[in-house]
A = this chain, B = another copy of it.
Amino acid sequence: AGDAAAGKGKSAVCSACHGADGIALVPIYPNLKGQNEAYLEGSLKAYREGQRAGGNAAIMSPMAKNLSDQDIADLAAYYASLK
Contact = CB atoms under 8 A, between A and B. Distances in A.
Interface of A: 24, 27-31, 34-39, 42-43, 45-46, 49, 51-57
Mostly, the A contact residues are loop
Copies in the complex: 2
B54 A51 contact: yes
A29 B24 contact: no
Given A36-B29, A36-B31, A46 B42 contact: no
A24 to B, nearest CB: 6
Nearest to A34: B31
Given A24-B36, A36-B24, A55 B42 contact: yes
Contacts of A45: 54-55
